[in-house]
Amino acid sequence: MRPIFKAFRQIFIGWFAICSVVISSVISLVISPNLAIAAPVNIAVDFTKQQAIEVKVSLSNTANELKFFPDRLTFESGKRYKLLLSNASAMKHYFTSKDFADAIWTQNVVAGNVEVKGNIRELELRPNTTAAWTFIPIKSGTYELHCSIAGHAEAGMRGNITIQPSA
């Protein structure tokens, strides 16, 4: 056999061997019962279906103290909460935290027979009233809480709200 044909034959056999290995590997992957194929993952979560975690906060008390009880609140992002606000005092008070309101998604606020939806920045509670604020924290951080009635924050009606990243 001529040397040129011999060299051509060796190159052809080499390429044939490589192609055979590649083709058999592909075929074994296709028909392998242990093959892991990534399927589309639906990561959409309907947070409104979560059971709301209830947190009670009193704006003052029957002694008319100018304080939130408790004055430090902690939430975890991605969880659904129902903030149960009450005012047992003889004065109206505000639950005001604009930056906190910007860091959450409000599902609704229910007060009496009224349900309010949309962006809430401040809630006024008149004497002996309650409200339920359902929301999902989104943005981590620590936010100031205060009563915006003149003199109330200065007298001690202030606090902090912390949103921690989800675990």
CATH number at residue 70: 2.60.40.420
Q: Assess if residue 84 is contained within a domain.
A: yes
Task: Answer yes or no: is 24 within a domain.
Answer: no
pTM higher than the cut 0.85: no
- 70, part of any domain: yes
Q: Which residues does 13 contact at the CB level (< 8 Å), separation at least 6?
A: none
Q: What is d(CA 21, CA 15) in angstroms, rounded to the nearest whole number?
A: 10
Domains contained in the chain, number = 1
Could you read off the pLDDT of 66-94 as tens digits, one per residue?
Answer: 999 999 999 999 999 999 999 999 999 99
Domain containing residue 145: 50-164
CA distance 44 to 140: 20
The two beta strands, 53-59 and 68-69, are antiparallel
- pLDDT number for residue 130: 96
Structural domain contains residue 104: yes
Which residues of the chain carry a pLDDT beneath 70? 1-44
* Position 120 in a domain: yes
